[in-house]
């Protein structure tokens, strides 16, 4: 287990603030040992909660050109055919994964290939499971021409708690299945759009692991 690079600065600043608050409590609240200890315990719990959010566990990755891996840890909340308006402008199969605050928030390439399109959209911070979050929230859209042939679109979506999406890909990049393509801080969702004839390998409500769980198989 390691701490993701996106969390190191936040954790360092948080630690300094919590230490300062504890010193102030012990300085100005002398004689109230029970209160001071309870406060210290609460700050330790707060720090551990933030620490677990930025964990980046080792994953046993495998690659296969026509299998899509889950782009993130979480629960499958949408499997349906929808109209995709931003890039394809036609019907696609959508698979959405909701990432709660206790999930690992690293996002990974679901497939290997060439990035044909990338765009960052500033936006709102509706709860991640809201139907309009995929078109109104802060988000990124990535389209990859997979090694198997079909185009795959995946989208990082900020949630109500999230205030920053980080990405490591740009148009023209070659990406490898399972490798990190970004990070979403404090709650989020990832949508994947594939051709409608794609065979889905997961079910609604199923918990998945980024870079390990196969979510669907492309028709090639």
| 33-53 vs 5-28: helix crossing angle, rounded to 10 | 170
Catalytic residue, candidates 96, 112, 133, 188: 188
C-beta separation of 208 from 76 below 8 A? yes
Which secondary-structure segment (H or E) carries 56? strand 55-56
The rounded distance, in Å, linking the Cα atoms of 53 and 3 is 9
Known catalytic residue at 146: no
The rounded distance, in Å, linking the Cα atoms of 74 and 152 is 20
SS3 193: strand
Question: How is residue 45 annotated by DSSP?
Answer: H
What tokens does 218 get? 């492309």
Phi then psi for 90, rounded to 5 degrees?
-155, -175
**Long-range pairs, 41-46, Cβ under 8 A, ≥24:** 43/18, 46/14, 46/18
The rounded distance, in Å, linking the Cα atoms of 11 and 155 is 27
Active site residues: 188
């Amino acid at each position: 287990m390691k701490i993701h690079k996106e969390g190191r600065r936040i954790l360092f600043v948080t630690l300094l603030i919590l230490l300062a608050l504890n010193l102030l409590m012990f300085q100005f609240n002398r004689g109230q040992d029970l209160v001071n200890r309870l406060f210290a315990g609460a700050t330790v719990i707060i720090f551990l909660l933030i620490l677990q959010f930025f964990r980046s566990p080792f994953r046993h990755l495998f690659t296969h050109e026509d299998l899509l891996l889950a782009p993130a840890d979480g629960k499958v909340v949408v499997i349906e055919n929808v109209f995709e308006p931003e890039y394809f402008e036609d019907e696609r199969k959508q698979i959405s994964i909701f990432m709660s605050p206790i999930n690992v928030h690293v996002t990974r390439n679901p497939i290997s290939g060439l990035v044909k399109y990338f765009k960052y959209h500033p936006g709102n911070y509706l709860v991640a499971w809201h139907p309009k979050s995929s078109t109104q929230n802060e988000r990124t859209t990535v389209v990859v021409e997979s090694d198997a042939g079909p185009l795959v679109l995946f989208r990082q979506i900020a949630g109500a708690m999230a205030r920053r999406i980080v990405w490591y890909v740009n148009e023209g990049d070659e990406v490898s299945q399972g490798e990190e393509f970004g990070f979403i801080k404090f709650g989020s969702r990832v949508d994947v759009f594939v051709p409608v004839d794609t065979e889905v390998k997961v079910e609604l409500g199923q918990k998945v692991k980024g870079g390990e769980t196969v979510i669907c198989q492309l028709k090639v």
